[in-house]
Amino acid sequence: MATVLLVGVDLFLRAKIEALLPEHHVITVEGVDPPDLVIADIGRVDPDDVADTFPEVPLLGFTNHKDTDGLRRGHTAGFDRVIVKSALFERTDELIRGLLAPIE
């Protein structure tokens, strides 16, 4: 079981993500130990701040399909994957497994 930190994710999306990741511990507040994966809504937070805060943690950023600037900022900040929101829900297992594979 991995600890997945959600950053900038609203309550509605949090519930959907938690339902898609029942085998993982999903949190919204940093704890003592670093998370195994960070999922950030880069339309709501600064991707550079997230990347600077979690330099050693795999980062998955998402935003809506019209936010091309946000997608670009996520890539520039160094996120491991930057996707549109719909892909997060269509390919959740594949994305999470791919990002957690190096640590599992």
**Which residue in this structure is represented by tokens 């940093």?**
30
DSSP three-state, residue 43: coil
pLDDT number for residue 80 = 96
User: How far does the chain reach from its first CA to its final CA, in angstroms?
Assistant: 9
Q: How high is the mean pLDDT in each 10-residue block of the chain (104 residues)?
A: 94 92 91 90 96 96 91 95 92 88 59
Q: Which residue has the tokens 């599992």?
A: 104
Q: What is the structure's pLDDT at 103? A: 53
User: Positive or negative CA dihedral for 65, 89, 31, 79?
Assistant: negative
Strands (E) across 1-104 are located at: 3-7, 25-27, 37-41, 59-63, 81-84
Provide the pLDDT for residue 104. Answer: 47
User: Under DSSP, is residue 62 helix (H, G, I), strand (E, B) or coil?
Assistant: strand
